[in-house]
Amino acid sequence: MTHAEHPWREVALSDSEYALILELLGRAPTPVELGMFGAMWSEHCGYKHSRLLLKQLPTEAPWVLQGPGENAGAVDLGNGLAAVFKVESHNHPSAVEPYEGAATGVGGIVRDIFTMGARPVAILNALRFGNLDEERNRYLFNNVVAGIGGYGNCLGIPTVGGEIAFDESFDGNPIVNAMCVGLVKSDGIVRAKASGIGNIVVLIGAETGRDGLHGATFASVDDPEASHRGVVQVGNPFLEKQLMEACLELLQGDAVVAMQDLGAAGLTSSIVECAGRGGVGIDIDVEAVPRRETGMTAYEVMLSESQERMVLVAEANRYREVAAVLDRWSLSSALIGLITDDGVVRIREGDDIHVEIPVTFFIDGCPAYAVDAAEPESARMRRSFDFAGVPDIAQAEIGDTLLALLASPNLGSRQSVWEQYDHTIQTNTVIGPGEGDAAVLRIKGTEIGIAISMDCNSRYCSLDPYLGAQHAVVESTRNISCVGGRPLAITNCLNFGNPERSPANWELSRAVAGMAEACRQLGVPIVSGNVSLYNETGGVPIKPTPMVGCVGVVDSVGDATGIAWNDGDDIYLLGESAPGLGGSEYLSTVHGRIAGAPAPIDFDLERRLQHFLRALVVSGAVSAVHDIADGGMAVALSEMAMSANAGAEIALGTDDKRNDLRWFGESASRALVAAPSSQRGSIENVALAAGVAAIRIGTVGGSALKLGLASTIPINDLREASARALAPLQMQFVSA
């Protein structure tokens, strides 16, 4: 059947969903109503395959000021201040037009922050790309990075961290997740909750065009690259800067009672969500919407995703006051509607009414599907991999193996990426990209700082999504603890394949359950997030990637500690978890296998370790802290050596471990600490009291890294290998 015969399929609605709409309305929807249902009932806006699962997540704590349901979450930092933060995806647009897709992803997440009255202070990103041997993947990589840097730099917001990984499952379907953090007074948070019968609805910012049509529904279909070039928005960061400053000024006054950005589904989602939160109706006249293209229909106006636009609900008779502020920032505005008392979304074009539907039909009427499935046999087989058939490496091969790992795209230097991001603007960055396990920003006028991290291991999640999601939570919180921060809350972005079939349905359900349990175990709630499903190309899903962003508070920003050790320091291995090769970067890079089970997590040990790490940093006893993650201990030691430009001699003693397991095995709950020898007694005594194993394994000094009995590896060799990982890609803006 064609879409002409079944128009609801054009907006990604199923036959049963259309039947439900007919039942709700008691009539056939108008074309504009059908388009609005398609947008609001899309996965991107309606969360129909994830809503039931997300109820498992813990969302409350005494320090949580705003949990899920608003534009972003918020936590109390103390000193009368709050951090507002969220992560969102722009995967599908970036697969089609990587520069604009990534750029507008940054713009959208920034608007989510300042619409709540918070000034954005940091941007992070998490990226996944396919095999870099493919020209298309190189094109996507270069232009996504350029788009992120181009937009964020123009806004004057530092891009302070994130992570990147590569795997063939992301061929043609990159993951582009953008996170933003803002600051606001604790009592100054603004909600997007329409109120005040008779209050006015004002549209501000850019004029409306046809770009972005069907963007929300487009994010809920397979194979985005195939036929959706027209849905990608075009951004203007300079206009966004004006919009940000104007909105923050408006929110200092009392004329504006609610504010909502126009993101996915444009004007449709913004007015429906505002009205829904407030339990009111809303009446919009599309003839009043400023347009940059002629002949636009009501359908196009309501579904356009043109960027740099906001909806304000302001007190009646105060439009001139609002317009005067906007005029000072050279921004246009238009009074397009009113708040009503009937709970109905009414869209008119002059005297012609195109939409007249209760708000609840768009929100509460959206179906919710239970997602659960049996574990595929293929997953069990991969996890039961027999490592007895994997040959160990000889002592003499340890150095060459380390250099090979450092030269791999997943572990090598990200300097060519960081150099495209301005991470020092606003002069608040204390620990920036590559300098520590988490970014740290000072809050001027106080002693406190914000620590921010993003983490996920897609390999782990493909083998065991429950355990893999837990690893994402514990690593993101551990990274906050490594710089001396106290983890407060998490934002997540759940990137998966088609939830209507295996294996994505099983992966999604298990990952959410694992994440929920890990957050409960660590006492860290989830306050915001996003779901991005249908990430597939040619029916092949991406590796599951439940990305975790964590925000913590550093009580004294001067104590924050990076990964660069000092000459003469003792080096300690903290934690007693046994490393494994399951899902390790070593097994993938050296043996070409993604197999085995990720290492188990002992949450009691993890809690004790993180508490001990924070205590060490606050005490001032340590020079450097670095968690052991991808690539194992050898890679972590190399990163510390390269950061400090100082070598070390490491002796682990004798045991029956394989060389590959000892040096390149991965597990949770382990970290490296460097400290002056004068602190030796203090560290060992406090570790004993904390119940954390602390083994002195080496000393910093010289210009090379010596791992046990292996040959010495000059730091310059480490650095050259690491620089080779992404060097061929630097600034290569190849065409599609």
Q: How far apart are the C-alpha atoms of 558 and 560, rounded to whole Å?
A: 6
What pLDDT is recorded for position 552? Answer: 98
What pLDDT is recorded for position 340? Answer: 98
Residue 314 and residue 395 in one domain: no
- Which residues lie across from 124 on neighbouring strands? 161, 179
Residue matched to tokens 């579904």: 303
Q: Is the pLDDT of residue 159 over 90?
A: yes
What pLDDT is recorded for position 106? Answer: 97
- For residue 142, what is the DSSP state? H
Q: Is the pLDDT of residue 225 over 70?
A: no
CATH number for the domain that contains residue 580: 3.90.650.10
What pLDDT is recorded for position 356? Answer: 97
Residue 398 and residue 359 in one domain: no
3-state secondary structure of 547: strand
Among 90, 214, 423, 471, the active-site one is 90
Q: Is the pLDDT of residue 733 over 60?
A: no
Q: Which domain holds residue 205?
A: 10-49+190-363
Residue 283 and residue 340 in one domain: yes
Domain assignment present for 349: yes
Q: How far apart are the C-alpha atoms of 11 and 13, rounded to whole Å?
A: 6
Cα-Cα end-to-end distance for the chain:
33
Domain assignment present for 661: yes
Q: What angle do CA 137, 472, 533 make, to 5 degrees?
A: 55
Residue 287 and residue 395 in one domain: no
What are the CA-CA distances from residue 155 to residues 141, 149, 310 (Å)? 22, 10, 17
**Radius of gyration, alpha carbons of the chain:** 26
Closest to 119 in 3D by CA, of 107, 110, 106: 110
Domain assignment present for 621: yes
Q: Which two tokens stand for residue 443?
A: 């809050």
Residue 617 and residue 675 in one domain: yes
pTM of the entire predicted model: 0.94
Domain assignment present for 494: no
What are the CA-CA distances from residue 706 to residues 240, 372, 637, 648 (Å)? 51, 49, 10, 6
Q: Which two tokens stand for residue 472?
A: 């994402």
Q: Is the pLDDT of residue 697 over 90?
A: yes
Question: Comparing 145-159, 212-226, 472-486, 673-687, which segment has the lowest mean pLDDT?
Answer: 212-226
Q: Is the pLDDT of residue 187 over 60?
A: yes
Q: Please state, as a whole number, how many other Cβ atoms lie within 10 Å of the Cβ of residue 620.
A: 14
Q: How far apart are the C-alpha atoms of 571 and 713, rounded to whole Å?
A: 18
Q: Is the pLDDT of residue 139 over 80?
A: yes
Backbone angles phi, psi at 642, to 5 degrees: -65, -40
Q: Is 49 considered catalytic here?
A: no
Q: Is the pLDDT of residue 227 over 50?
A: no
Q: 566-618: per-residue pLDDT in tens?
A: 999 999 999 988 899 999 999 999 999 999 999 999 999 999 999 999 999 99
Q: Is 90 considered catalytic here?
A: yes
Q: Is the pLDDT of residue 653 over 90?
A: no
Q: Which two tokens stand for residue 297?
A: 């229909």
> One-letter amino acid identity for 730?
Q
Residue 660 and residue 697 in one domain: yes
- The runs of H, that is alpha helices, within 289-364 are 298-303, 319-328, 359-363
Residue 325 and residue 399 in one domain: no
Residue 400 and residue 274 in one domain: no
Q: Is the pLDDT of residue 732 over 60?
A: no
Residue 200 and residue 278 in one domain: yes
Domain assignment present for 57: no
Q: 498-554: per-residue pLDDT in tens?
A: 999 999 999 999 999 999 999 999 999 999 999 999 999 888 999 999 999 999 999
Contact 217, 38 (CB under 8 A): yes
Closest to 200 in 3D by CA, of 256, 254, 277: 256
- Which residues lie across from 489 on neighbouring strands? 551
Average pLDDT over residues 17-27: 97
Q: Is the pLDDT of residue 237 over 70?
A: yes
Backbone angles phi, psi at 564, to 5 degrees: -90, 115
What pLDDT is recorded for position 709? Answer: 87
Name the pLDDT band for 27 (thresholds 50, 70, 90). very high
Name the pLDDT band for 222 (thresholds 50, 70, 90). low
Name the pLDDT band for 426 (thresholds 50, 70, 90). very high
Q: Is the pLDDT of residue 65 over 50?
A: yes
Domain count, the chain: 2
Residue 236 and residue 286 in one domain: yes
Q: In what order do the strands lie in the sheet with 119-129?
A: 64-66, 73-78, 81-89, 175-185, 119-129, 159-166
Averaged pLDDT of the chain: 93
Q: How far apart are the C-alpha atoms of 363 and 350, rounded to whole Å?
A: 26
Domain assignment present for 646: yes
Average pLDDT over residues 328-352: 96
Percentage, residues of the chain above pLDDT 70: 95
3-state secondary structure of 312: strand
Q: Is the pLDDT of residue 471 over 90?
A: yes
Average pLDDT over residues 339-346: 97
Residue 320 and residue 400 in one domain: no
Domain assignment present for 718: yes
Name the pLDDT band for 216 (thresholds 50, 70, 90). very low
Contact 561, 453 (CB under 8 A): no
Residue 332 and residue 398 in one domain: no
Domain assignment present for 499: no
Task: State the helix-helix crossing angle for 237-250 and 319-328, rounded to 10 degrees.
Answer: 140
HEC string of 173-194 equals CCEEEEEEEEEEECCCCCCCCC
Greatest CA separation found in the chain?
A: 85
Q: How far apart are the C-alpha atoms of 486 and 473, rounded to whole Å?
A: 14
